[in-house]
Structure formats: C-alpha cells, structure tokens
Amino acid sequence: MKIVVIGGTGLIGSKTVAILRGAGHEVVAASPNSGVDILTGEGVKEAVAGAEVVIDLANSPSFEDKAVLEFFETAGRNLLAAEAASGVRHHVALSIVGIDRSNNGYFRGKVAQEKLIVASGIPYTVIRSTQFLEFLRGIADSGAEGNKVRIATGLFQPIAADDVAGLPTWRWPRRATASSRSPVRSARRSTRSLRAT
C-alpha cells in the first residue's frame, strides 16, 4: 500500500516512516526538502497520486498565533484538495489533547486543521496526543529567566515520541505514561539527565 507521510522527516514523521517501511508499505516521506510543500502546494498533487493513505504530521514553522493559524488552514486546504482529487481513501492527522479547551494560538490552529479534515469528506482519523517527553528540555528552557525557571505547576501526562510514531500505523503505544506527572519534577529530572550525558 502506498502511504504518504507529510512531515516525514521530522521527529515523529521519520519514526513513523521507518515503522511503515518495516511493515512492507511503499512510503513517501514528504517534506519541503523532498519537494513537497503543503503551504505553497508545490509537489503535493504528485506526492499523493496513487496513495491510499496520507498521514499528516506537519508542524507550523512559526509559533506566532496568526502564522500558525494561517499555516494549518492553508496547508490543510492544499493537502485535502490534492487528496480528494487523487482519491485518497483515508487521512490521518496528529493533533493535541485538550486543544478545544484552551485559547492558545497554536491550539486554535490545530482546531482549524481538524475542522477542515472533518469537512473534507475524506474518511479520517485524528489522533490527539499528549506532550512529548522529548520536549521537556525545551519547556524548561522556555521558562528560564536568569538562574530561575518558571514552569506551570499543573499535571501533565507525557508520551515518548517512539510511541506517538506508532499511533498513525495503527499500533497501540508500548510505553504510555501510567499516571499524570508534575512538569516541574519531570523537567528537573530531564535536565539533570541531559547534563549528565
């Protein structure tokens, strides 16, 4: 089966591509570097031609509120139109748990993406994942101010990128976190282990 992975060279995409190829599928790892730009539409029709499934793991190149919304709306329209024209049988998209309960600009972009998918008429699966463990260092760094780090004290339930990569391939995660964690404790533990390596 031909499967196109949009964002196929990123953190999750490259892992998903490897899993699918290991299962014997014909996989196209689509990204701007491979000539497939879902924002401009360049190479999209050619990439999805003959594909049965498209897995959208693309991420906005900017996290500024307006740019994120424009990315997910424009890229979504370009990708879904090409899929409809090519007769793609199933669309899979990675999204985020709780996006419809926050006013976060990035989350608004993901909500817009999901609405386009639902309205497309293409059979779909939207996978809402929790935060990736691999992003803990970045979360801690973003809260750094001098020798202090400010992090929200609420609980979160992270998941490993390897497990998320298996989800679009219809495999259940092997190492999902069993319980919620404190982001403060997790960030401390993560930054300590990173310094030790």
pLDDT given for residue 170 in this prediction: 54
**Within 13 Å, how many C-alpha atoms sit on residue 111's CB side?**
12
Q: Which residue in the block uniquely carries the two structure tokens 């996290």?
A: 63
Tell me whether residue 48 is in a domain. yes
The CATH number of whichever domain residue 27 belongs to comes to: 3.40.50.720
Extract the residue ranges of the chain whose pLDDT is less than 70. 170-197
Coil/strand/helix, residue 90: strand
Query: Contact 158/181 with Cβ under 8 angstroms?
Result: yes
Both tokens assigned to 83: 């899929």
pTM: 0.81
Express each pLDDT in 98-112 by its tens digit. 999 988 999 999 999
pLDDT given for residue 195 in this prediction: 43
Structural domain that includes position 194 = 131-159+175-197
Tell me whether residue 169 is in a domain. no
Tell me whether residue 73 is in a domain. yes
